[in-house]
Structure 1
Amino acid sequence: MVVRYRRELFRVAEVDDSKNPTSGVAERYAQALFSLAQEQKVTDAVTEALGNFAEMIEQSADLKRLVLSPVFSAEEQLKAISAILDKYGFGGITANFVKLVAAKRRLFVLPDMIRAFVALNDKAKGVARADVTVAAALSPGHSATLEQALREVSGGKAVKVNVDVDPSIIGGIVVKIGSRMVDASLKTKLNSLRTRMKEVG
């Protein structure tokens, strides 16, 4: 089974995307990796490792340039990426996957592949993700209220909340669940939370 999925990864890598280099690539690679991770029962471990690598890309201008810039050859990218993976202890199918992506000149799509993989894992676990932007850091009480509101709107699913603080929104709350912005039912709950936050402030 493992061999079959490894072959599937290489089959996906050979798909001709010359007309539209990014269309569907992330989803195909992510699905192939997810199938392999499921077979080896390591989906959560791979999700965590990919998340850590994505964070490294965001925090390092040099690594981001290596991943996104077209000026590097496949050989240069593979050599550099392999060294980084080894240095920071990435191994197993996560490291092999990233190396394969580099070897196939698809490294610039890696951030999208990671997001697609995380989405697949969330769906399999019945988890929704919400990106929340607030003007000031939330207190534990406000966080609990927000999570409950998001859980209700997502149909009772467990919700993983990522909170960013942006003072420019001046006391507001911006919420995105998956690919959609908040709907009217959630806005009512958020307005109540805004009022509470102002009263505390």
Structure 2
Amino acid sequence: MSQVAKRYAEALFQLARNQHALADVSSDLKELTKAFETTPELVALLQAPKISSDMKKAMVSNVLSGAHPAVVNMLHLLIDKKRMNEVSLVAKEFQALAAAAQGAAEATVFSTRTLTDEERAEISAAFAKLVGMEKLEITNVIEPSLLGGIRVQIGNYIYDSTVASKLEGLKRTLVG
């Protein structure tokens, strides 16, 4: 994680918490991250050196007219400081700070298929206790190469109960 992104995220988190707008800012940042991931042209446009900062800020203000002002202002600041490449990292760090403040942690669950709501709830209940949280905010990533089972990543903690990893362990045991 970039130190710069961490500082911006902490400042945005403090501002959102003081304004009692953690949920709104968090939601806006999730939508912004999705937009940046699905339209790389937008990121390229906002990083283009030939477009003035004022023009970029005007575009951001128009596109995000319904977003929380703190999110728009953060983007304006990142444009001024020529740090638009940090937006996704700022959003990710903010989500982690917001989740921790609400007694939750962010988790990525890798599986061969989309998890049901019931499965998400079971995984959240089982693994949240391991990391000292009340619940997990789960992002499900489909990875067919796992063959079966799940791999859960919570911060630096990884629990791997996939068929692929069990087969690899069995191979190491048999081969020696």
Q: What interval of TM-score do these two structures reach, taking the shorter chain for normalisation? A: 0.7 to 0.9
Unaligned runs of 5+ in 1: 1-21, 192-201
* Residue deviations 1:15-46 (CA, integer Å, cap 9, x gap): xxxxxxx8411111111122211221112211
Between Structure 1 and Structure 2, which shows a larger proportion of strand residues? 2
* Residue deviations 1:121-169 (CA, integer Å, cap 9, x gap): 1222221111001012234543343222212322352111111222222
Is 2:151 the partner of 1:136? Answer: no
Is 2:55 the partner of 1:80? Answer: no
Q: Which range moves more in the overlay, 155-164 or 138-147?
A: 138-147
**Aligned partner letter, 1:51:** K
Contact 1:135-1:168 at 8 Å conserved across structures: yes
Structure 1's 152 and 97: CA in aligned 2 closer, same or farther, altered over 3 A?
Answer: same
1:43 corresponds to which residue?
Answer: 22
| TM-score, normalised via structure 1 length | 0.70
* Residue deviations 1:65-94 (CA, integer Å, cap 9, x gap): 2345666553443233233223xx224222
2:153 corresponds to which residue?
Answer: 176
Is 2:69 the partner of 1:92? Answer: yes
Structure 1's 145 and 124: CA in aligned 2 closer, same or farther, altered over 3 A?
Answer: closer
**Aligned partner letter, 1:94:** V
* Residue deviations 1:155-194 (CA, integer Å, cap 9, x gap): 3521111112222221131210023322xxxx5xx47xxx
SS of match in other structure, 1:159: strand
Q: Which residue, 14, 30, 39 being the options, matches 1:60?
A: 39
**Aligned partner letter, 1:109:** E
Contact 2:13-2:97 at 8 Å conserved across structures: yes
SS of match in other structure, 1:161: strand
**Aligned length, in residue pairs:** 163
Aligned CA-pair RMSD: 2.5
Unaligned runs of 5+ in 2: 163-176
2:8 corresponds to which residue?
Answer: 29
Q: 2:49 & 2:89 partners in 1: Cα distance? A: 16
Contact 2:113-2:144 at 8 Å conserved across structures: yes
Is 2:117 the partner of 1:118? Answer: no
SS of match in other structure, 2:114: coil
For residue 61 of structure 1, report the CA deviation from its aligned partner.
Answer: 2.5
Contact 1:74-1:104 at 8 Å conserved across structures: no
SS of match in other structure, 1:174: strand
Q: 2:22 & 2:120 partners in 1: Cα distance? A: 28
1:19 corresponds to which residue?
Answer: none
Structure 1's 168 and 73: CA in aligned 2 closer, same or farther, altered over 3 A?
Answer: farther
Q: 1:118 & 1:141 partners in 2: Cα distance? A: 23
